[in-house]
């Protein structure tokens, strides 16, 4: 799944969540169409401004993306209310990704799960076994990744997104050991962070039998480490 991270209306990539971004495009819609032409079957969009500041001016732009392409598109970043979820689903997004709010407010998450079911997915951003929140700037006190996954499973979630924040944007390879360990939970996992080569895709594909359901790739595609068709053929 190609990632399209948007900050101030531009497509950017970060390193370990640090906001010294590199701009790859000033036109997110054009970028989305590009990945579709390359064979993408699903797009992963993140509103970085909303993730950090709890507000964003990107919605007027982002809302056009799902209608500009003919594949499913999911959206995450700073989504903290049921109204916001409904607004994004009504705009045509197939799924909404929850992060900080899902960690901080269990009652909200339970209600959202009951109301929206599989149209929401939780993204777990981790650092050294701890759940990170607020654009990866803080660890949520007392919450480990394993404990959080157990609580999500109890709520009925079947799949999560897992990002190792120390790997993200580094092009140093995914945390295979951590991913494999978390797959023991029985939840399907979409892996994100650190993918740098087709060999990384190959190594992750080997985890499919344990429940890995997808891979989100960002910087490696934008930096031309491999092409999307090559990755899709391998996966």
Phi/psi of residue 47, nearest 5 degrees:
-90, 95
Low-confidence ranges of the chain (pLDDT < 50): 136, 138-141
**Model pLDDT, residue 18:** 54
Confirm whether 47 is a catalytic residue: no
pLDDT per residue as tens digits for the range 147-161: 999 999 999 999 999
pLDDT per residue as tens digits for the range 172-193: 889 999 999 999 999 999 999 8
Q: What dihedral do alpha carbons 124, 152, 99, 42 form, nearest 10°?
A: 80
Residues with Cβ within 8 Å of residue 149, at least 6 apart in sequence: 124, 160, 182, 185, 187
User: 3-234, what's its fold?
Assistant: TIM Barrel (3.20.20)
Confirm whether 105 is a catalytic residue: no
**Model pLDDT, residue 32:** 98
Choice among 47, 49, 125, 164 that is catalytic: 125
Choice among 5, 47, 49, 168 that is catalytic: 5
In angstroms, rounded to a whole number, what is the distance separating the alpha carbons of residues 160 and 217?
16
Kindly report the pTM of this predicted structure: 0.92
* Domain boundaries of the chain, sorted by first residue: 3-234
Neighbours of 48 (CB within 10 A): 23
């Amino acid at each position: 799944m190609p990632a399209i991270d948007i900050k101030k209306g531009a497509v950017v990539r970060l390193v370990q969540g640090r906001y010294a971004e590199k701009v790859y495009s000033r036109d997110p819609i054009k970028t989305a169409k590009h990945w579709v032409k390359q064979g993408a079957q699903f797009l992963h969009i993140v509103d970085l401004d909303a993730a950090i500041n709890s507000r964003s001016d990107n919605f007027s732009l982002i809302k056009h993306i799902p209608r500009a392409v003919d594949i499913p598109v999911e959206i995450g970043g700073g989504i903290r209310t049921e109204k916001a979820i409904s607004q994004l689903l009504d705009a045509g997004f197939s799924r909404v990704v929850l992060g900080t709010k899902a960690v901080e407010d269990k009652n909200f998450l339970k209600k959202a799960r009951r109301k929206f079911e599989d149209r929401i997915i939780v993204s777990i951003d981790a650092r050294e076994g701890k759940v990170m929140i607020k654009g990866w700037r803080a660890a949520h006190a007392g919450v480990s990744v394993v404990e959080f996954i157990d609580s999500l499973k109890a709520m009925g979630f079947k799949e999560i997104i897992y990002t190792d924040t120390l790997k993200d944007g580094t092009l140093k390879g995914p945390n295979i050991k951590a991913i494999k360990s978390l797959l023991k939970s029985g939840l399907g996992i979409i892996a994100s962070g650190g993918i740098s080569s087709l060999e990384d895709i190959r190594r992750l594909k080997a985890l499919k039998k344990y429940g890995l359901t997808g891979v989100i790739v960002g910087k490696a595609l934008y930096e031309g480490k491999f092409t999307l068709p090559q990755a899709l053929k391998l996966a």
